Amino acid sequence: MSATGRSIQLLSHTPRKTDIAGIQQQLDGLWDEQYRDLHEGEAVTRACMSNLIVYCDSIEQNRDIEQSIPEIVLDHPSRVILLSGHRETSARDTEVFVSGHYVKLPSGWQVCAEQIRVVADAQSSRRLPSITRTQLIGDLPTTLWWASREAPPVTGKLFFKLASMADQIIYDSIGWTNPTRGMRPCRAG
């Protein structure tokens, strides 16, 4: 809902498969599509308040989070980087999908999110931090949503590398097999 009480519907592009090198080109293509649908006097605007990095490691988590993202970005426009680690991929090591979420306003289109989903197998999940770093919008605050059911100390360096990019970290320890161990202070090294 908007501040005026009228309902706003968020629309989404179908995710497009690409490779890491093609992410920006695919994002630019999403913008170009919005420009083609403009009428005289309309514009495409972008609302972006932050970067949101989300890490999950199960198909169920990924599905639940992807369903939540449109509602999140309607209230808090962001560049969303959804990382799915330790998964089977049809590609050799990683798969990348790009999509966008937007609303139709009387003055044109407003892009609320550019979404980048990276699916990595167990071997290539070590590359997730470097892929993520290259996709962050530089001068915006960054949040890491650690949706994994594995506590950060159990996952090794992955959590710490992602956390080093974040201004804040969100996690829920309810699914951790050993919450006490997960909350113990630990080092990145």
What tokens were used for 173? 């320890």
- Of 127, 134, 119, 138, which Cα lies nearest the Cα of 54? 119
What is the model's pLDDT at position 12?
Answer: 86
Residue pair 48/137 in contact (Cβ under 8 Å)? The answer is yes
- Of 157, 148, 156, 155, which Cα lies nearest the Cα of 176? 148
Residue by residue, pLDDT tens for the chain (189 residues) are 333 344 677 788 889 999 999 999 999 888 887 777 767 777 777 788 999 999 998 888 888 999 999 889 988 899 999 999 876 656 567 899 999 998 877 777 777 899 999 999 878 888 999 999 999 998 999 999 999 888 887 777 899 999 999 999 998 877 777 666 666 655 554
Q: What pTM was estimated for this model as a whole?
A: 0.84
Q: Which CA distances in Å does 29 have to 56, 82, 150?
A: 27, 20, 36
Would residue 140 be called left, alpha or beta, if left means φ above 0 and alpha means ψ between -120 and 50 degrees?
Answer: beta
Residue by residue, DSSP assigns 68-126 as HHHHHHHHS-EEEEEEE-S---SSSSEEEEEEEEEEEETTEEEEEEEEEEEEE-TTGGG
What the chain holds in terms of domains, given with CATH numbers, is 19-174 (3.40.50)
What is the model's pLDDT at position 92?
Answer: 67
What tokens were used for 147? 């949706």
What is the model's pLDDT at position 107?
Answer: 75
What is the model's pLDDT at position 89?
Answer: 58
